[in-house]
């Protein structure tokens, strides 16, 4: 497996060199350390020399003075004792910068060296322990009440990079007002692929817009957690299409599996801009009726390495799979393969009717265990082949916290292997657990190679959503390489802007090229794309019309069509794409947003929310209250409560970054 079989693989550890330290972080650290050092060594400031002074007073006065004077001396002594203590108490309140606090009673640390190791330990603990309550206190005042169970430690850690704030606080001497402090998107410690917002495009210059669909929803979960933690997520973390697609929409479903999805189009006024309209494209994947029970052959490939031994990893995984097992019926087959240092079969292919046996095998999994055997992923695919069902779902489900030590170490080789197996009809899905070393990119690319999707199971609720409510979509791909192309009619539309999908744009020529990969749609998935369009002749146009441009509508275009929607897709077992075409006519236009269906209004509210959170230049000035009202009025049935949760999220965002 190693690329250099003759060299000790551990020697490769020397290979990664740290990127250069950030100069700003370096300066901050040194400044903070200097401040701490000054505190440490300045005499009297923290009252730490008072012990010495007392000692020097007592011997001098003893014997020289008569008995009666002892009372004033005692008083003086008490005063001397209390003053520094009082100062200490005063200075440990929130008035003080939190960087370094001396413990309340701290004579200079005896420099008598004991065992070197221990001392470094204890001495090092002291200054870090102290700032904790201070930070926690301040964090509490600004964090909007949420779960309620947050411990002081958690609160402190929810505040990103506490220490770098210290110098500025020290400079002003007071804590900054809460909103000013929270308004800036905090550095979360995460790096995001930076992307620019889709610009407004002129229909005369670029009448065709092409992109790949995206059914991922991770960005919404991320934004939700950040807001619940009292932080404004960084703009690059907000991917609007993922936020919109998190919610299920009640679009018209296709009749049969031959046309795997149907589109719903609507045109309605933009809530954040009176001069433009939103072109709403909704796609709903075919959902096989419950009566048709396609046999499934599922192989769970489970990471049981030691790192999985955390509450939000293997134990959560077990509970999640229990949910899934409950969903399956007698003609489904389940196998379990584990891998850690080595791979083994934990459960031979077993009918899902035999739930007791499956659950027993699941219970027997424990992190850190490993069984001798062949490499994990090959073993999983062997079992999948062994129990393969024709015309059914054959899928390997890889559950991991990021340890892709499945037997093939080269990622490209692994992708190729998965892609090759995909050809034989066995697909792959990836479930991510826990945190720390998980490679989001690796997960995504593996799942894409395997025509599956990658989901993060961060909580039991998320497991419920992915494995029960959206099980069809998770397990069954109904169309692959789905691309969307919209051609605007310059006679009706002068400008357009695609909301979101920044990372999914395709070239115009890619649309008809079946070699170009695009997104997959699972059974019952809904996908939504929104364009903000400026009607021709509107005074809201941002781009001046071309002096030498032609006003002629495109040849062959129907003059009352706003746009023409083309969608290309491949059936799961086909390599040739098919085309669905739909004109967008005045029939689907609503004059008033309140008359548009609730789904459309809700999606518009989510788009507005995302754009405001990002600080979009196009929709930044819609106020939170309007967004909230729009979402509130468009909740519809909302059986799972996702939309109600969204409304609360708007409130949170509003309190974290109030309208000015």
Partner 1 sequence: MPLTADAADTETDVADLVTLARAGDRQAFVSLVSTHYDFVYRTAYRWCGNRSDAEDVAQEVSIKLAAAIAAFDGRSKFSSWLYRITLNAVRDMQRARARRGRHVTALAEVSPQSAPPEQEDAAATRQLWAAVRALPDKQRDAVLLVYAEDLTHAAAAEIMGCREATVSWHIFEARKTLRGFL
Using CB under 8 A, which residues numbered 55 to 114 contact partner 1?
A: 99-100, 108-109, 111, 113
Phi-psi region of 486 (alpha: psi -120 to 50; beta: other; left: phi over 0): beta
Task: Please name the residues in contact with 181: beta carbons below 8 A apart, sequence gap of 6 or more.
Answer: 142, 165, 175
Of residues 137, 250, 312, 415, which one binds partner 1 by CB under 8 A?
312
Is beta strand 296-303 parallel, antiparallel or unpaired with respect to 333-339? parallel
Q: Across 270-342, where does the E strand assignment appear? A: 277-285, 296-303, 333-339
Instruction: From 553, 543, 447, select the one nearest 492 (Cα to Cα).
Output: 553
Q: How far is the CB of 36 from partner 1 (least distance, A)?
A: 4
495 forms beta bridges with: 202, 534
- Least Å distance, CB 468 to partner 1, is 20
Q: Which of 209, 210, 245, 305 binds partner 1 (CB under 8 A)?
A: 305
At its nearest, how many Å lie between partner 1 and the CB of residue 182? Answer: 16
**Stretch touching partner 1 by CB under 8 A, among 31-39, 64-72, 138-146, 288-296:** 31-39
Query: Residue 396 and residue 408: Cα distance in Å, rounded?
Result: 16
Stretch that binds partner 1, among 24-32, 477-485, 536-544, 644-652 (CB under 8 A): 24-32
Q: How far apart are the C-alpha atoms of 524 and 508, rounded to whole Å?
A: 28
Applying CB under 8 A, among 152, 288, 369, 439 the residue interacting with partner 1 is 439
Q: Which stretch binds partner 1 (CB under 8 A): 52-60, 206-214, 454-462, 510-518?
A: 454-462
Residues of span 526-555 touching partner 1 by CB under 8 A: none
User: What six digits make up the tokens of 40?
Assistant: 């440490």
Nearer to partner 1, 219 or 577 (CB): 219
Q: Is 504 helix (H, G, I), strand (E, B) or coil?
A: helix
Confirm or reject binding of residue 520 to partner 1 (CB under 8 A): no
219-238 positions binding partner 1, by CB under 8 A: 219, 221-222, 225-226, 229, 237
Minimum CB–partner distance for residue 46 and partner 1 (Å) = 12
In angstroms, the CA 204 to CA 25 distance is 48
Written as six digits, the tokens of 188 are: 């979360």
Rule CB under 8 A: is residue 52 a binding residue for partner 1?
Answer: no
Binding mask of the shown chain, residues 122 to 141, with x at each position contacting partner 1 by CB under 8 A: -xx-xxx-------------
Residue 371 as a binder of partner 1 (CB under 8 A): the answer is no
Angle ∠(454,455,460) on CA atoms, nearest 5 = 160
Q: Which listed range, 39-47, 86-94, 358-366, 417-425, lies at the site for partner 1 (CB under 8 A)?
A: 39-47
Residue 295's φ and ψ, nearest 5 degrees, are -65, 140
**Alpha helices, H only, 43-100:** 50-61, 70-91
**Long-range contacts for 411-414 (Cβ within 8 Å, ≥24 apart)?**
411/442, 411/445, 414/377, 414/446
The nearer residue to partner 1, 103 or 658, going by C-beta atoms, is 103
Q: State which residue, 411 or 615, has the beta carbon closest to partner 1.
A: 411
Closest distance between partner 1 and the C-beta of residue 144, in Å?
16
Strands 296-303 and 393-400, sheet pairing: parallel
The residue within the footprint of partner 1, chosen from 71, 116, 290, 576 (CB under 8 A), is 116
CA R_g for the chain: 31
Binding mask 176-215 for partner 1 (x = CB under 8 A): -----------xxxxxxx----------------------
The CB-of-216 to partner 1 minimum distance in angstroms stands at: 10
Nearest distance, CB of residue 281 and partner 1, angstroms: 25
Residue from 16, 291, 555, 576 touching partner 1 (CB under 8 A): that is 16
Residue 273 or 370: the one with the smaller Cβ distance to partner 1 is 370
d(CA 95, CA 90): 8
Instruction: Pick the closer one to partner 1 by CB: 223 or 630.
Output: 223
Cα distance between residue 179 and residue 188, in whole Å: 18
End-to-end CA distance of the chain: 58
Q: Which is nearer to partner 1, 161 or 360 (CB)?
A: 161
- 243 in contact with partner 1 (CB under 8 A): no
| 41 or 507: CB nearest partner 1 | 41
Minimum CB–partner distance for residue 378 and partner 1 (Å): 13
Asked if 211 and 484 touch (Cβ cutoff 8 Å), the reply is: yes
Count of all residues that appear for the chain in the document = 660
How distant is the alpha carbon of residue 45 from its chain centre?
46
**Alpha carbon distance 416, 200 (integer Å):** 38
How far apart, in whole angstroms, are the C-alpha atoms of residue 140 and residue 134? 10
Alpha-carbon separation of residue 207 from 303, 518, 540 (angstroms): 48, 21, 18
378 sits near partner 1 (criterion: CB under 8 A): no
Q: 274 to each of 166, 269, 532, how far by Cα in Å?
A: 44, 7, 11
The answer for residues whose C-beta is within 8 angstroms of residue 474's C-beta and 6 or more apart is: 429, 453, 455, 466, 467, 522
Which residue number, 223 or 267, has a Cβ lying nearer to partner 1?
223
CB of residue 602 to partner 1, shortest distance in Å: 23
Q: How many residues bind partner 1 (CB under 8 A)?
A: 99
Q: Which of residues 138-177 bind partner 1 (CB under 8 A)?
A: 153-154, 157-158, 161, 163-164
Under the binding rule (CB under 8 A), the answer on residue 54 touching partner 1 is: no
Block residue for tokens 């994947």: 285
> Closer to partner 1 at the Cβ: 38 or 560?
38
Query: Which CB, 10 or 180, lies closer to partner 1?
Result: 10
Determine if residue 91 is left, alpha or beta; phi over 0 gives left, psi from -120 to 50 gives alpha, anything else beta.
Answer: alpha
Instruction: Quote the tokens at residue 656.
Output: 């974290």
Token pair 């293997």 is found at 314
> Which of positions 456-475 make contact with partner 1 (CB under 8 A)?
456, 458-459
Residue with Cβ nearer partner 1 (241 or 561): 241
Stretch that binds partner 1, among 175-183, 281-289, 307-315, 518-526 (CB under 8 A): 307-315
Contacts with partner 1, 322-351, as mask; x by CB under 8 A: -----------------xxxxx--------
Q: How far apart are CA 123 and CA 108, in angstroms?
A: 11
φ/ψ region of 103 (left if φ > 0, alpha if ψ in -120 to 50, else beta) reads: beta
Judged by beta carbon, residue 237 or residue 584, the one nearer partner 1 is 237
Name the minimum Å distance from CB 120 to partner 1: 5
Select 35 or 85, whichever has its Cβ closest to partner 1. Answer: 35
Tokens of 603: 């999606």
Site for partner 1 in 385-424 (CB under 8 A): 402-405, 409-411
* Residue closer to partner 1, measured from CB, 399 or 486: 399
Cα 228 from chain centroid (whole Å): 13
Is 7 a binding residue for partner 1 by CB under 8 A? The answer is no
Give the binding range for partner 1 (CB under 8 A) out of 79-87, 349-357, 383-391, 438-446.
438-446
Identity of the residue, 404 or 511, whose beta carbon is nearer to partner 1 in the bound complex: 404
């Amino acid at each position: 497996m190693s690329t250099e079989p003759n060299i000790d693989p551990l020697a490769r550890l020397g290979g990664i060199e740290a990127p250069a330290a950030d100069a700003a972080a370096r300066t901050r650290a040194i400044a903070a350390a200097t401040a701490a050092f000054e505190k440490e060594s300045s005499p009297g400031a923290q009252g730490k020399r008072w012990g010495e002074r007392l000692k020097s007073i007592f011997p001098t006065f003893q014997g020289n003075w008569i008995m009666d004077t002892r009372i004033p001396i005692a008083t003086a002594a008490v005063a001397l004792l209390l003053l520094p203590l009082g100062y200490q108490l005063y200075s440990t309140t929130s008035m003080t910068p939190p960087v370094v606090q001396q413990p309340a009673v701290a004579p200079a640390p005896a420099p008598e060296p004991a065992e070197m190791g221990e001392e470094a330990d204890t001495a090092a603990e002291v200054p870090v322990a102290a700032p904790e309550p201070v930070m926690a206190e301040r964090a509490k005042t600004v964090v909007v009440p949420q779960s309620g169970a947050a411990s002081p430690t958690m609160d402190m850690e929810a505040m990103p990079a506490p220490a770098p704030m210290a110098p500025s606080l020290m400079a002003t001497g007071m804590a900054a007002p809460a909103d000013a402090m929270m308004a800036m998107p905090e550095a979360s410690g995460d790096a995001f692929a930076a992307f620019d917002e889709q610009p407004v495009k002129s229909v005369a210059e670029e009448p065709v817009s092409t992109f790949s669909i995206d059914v991922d929803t991770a960005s919404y979960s991320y934004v939700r957690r950040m807001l619940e933690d009292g932080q404004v997520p960084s703009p690059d973390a907000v991917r609007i299409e993922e936020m919109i697609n998190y919610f299920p929409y009640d679009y018209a479903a296709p009749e049969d599996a031959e046309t795997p999805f149907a589109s719903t189009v609507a045109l309605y006024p933009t809530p954040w801009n009176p001069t433009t309209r939103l072109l709403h494209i909704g796609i709903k994947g075919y959902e096989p009726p419950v009566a048709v029970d396609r046999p499934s052959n599922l192989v769970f490939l489970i990471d049981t390495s030691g790192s999985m031994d955390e509450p939000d990893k293997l134990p959560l995984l077990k509970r999640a799979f229990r949910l899934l097992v409950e969903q399956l019926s007698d003609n489904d087959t389940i196998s379990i393969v584990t891998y850690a240092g080595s791979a083994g079969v934990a459960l031979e292919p077993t009918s899902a009717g035999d739930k007791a046996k499956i659950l027993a095998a699941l219970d027997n999994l424990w992190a850190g265990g490993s069984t001798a055997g062949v490499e994990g992923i090959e073993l999983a695919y062997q079992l999948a082949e062994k129990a393969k069902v024709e015309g059914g779902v054959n899928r390997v489900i890889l559950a991991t916290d990021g340890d892709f030590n499945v037997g093939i170490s080269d990622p490209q080789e692994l992708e190729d292997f998965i892609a090759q197996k995909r050809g034989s009809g066995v697909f792959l899905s990836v479930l991510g657990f826990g945190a720390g070393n998980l490679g989001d990119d690796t997960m995504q690319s593996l799942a894409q190679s395997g025509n599956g999707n990658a989901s993060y199971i961060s909580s039991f609720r998320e497991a419920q959503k992915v494995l029960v409510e959206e099980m069809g979509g998770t397990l069954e791909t109904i169309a692959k390489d789905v691309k969307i192309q919209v051609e605007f009619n310059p006679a009706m539309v002068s400008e357009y802007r695609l909301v979101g999908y920044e990372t999914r744009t395709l070239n115009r020529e890619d649309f008809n090229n079946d070699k170009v990969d695009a997104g997959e749609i699972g059974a019952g998935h809904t996908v939504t794309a929104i364009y903000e369009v400026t009607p021709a002749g509107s005074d809201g146009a941002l781009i001046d019309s071309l002096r030498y441009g032609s006003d002629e509508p495109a040849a062959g275009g129907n003059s009352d069509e706003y746009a023409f929607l083309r969608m290309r897709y491949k059936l799961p077992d086909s390599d040739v794409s098919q085309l669905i075409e739909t004109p967008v006519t005045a029939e689907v236009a609503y004059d008033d947003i309140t008359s548009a269906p609730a789904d459309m209004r809700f999606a518009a509210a989510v788009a507005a929310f995302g754009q405001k959170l990002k600080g979009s230049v196009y929709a930044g000035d819609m106020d939170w209250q309007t967004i909230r009202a729009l979402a509130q009025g468009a909740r519809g049935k909302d059986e799972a409560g996702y939309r109600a949760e969204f409304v609360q999220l708007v409130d949170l965002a509003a309190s974290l970054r109030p309208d000015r």
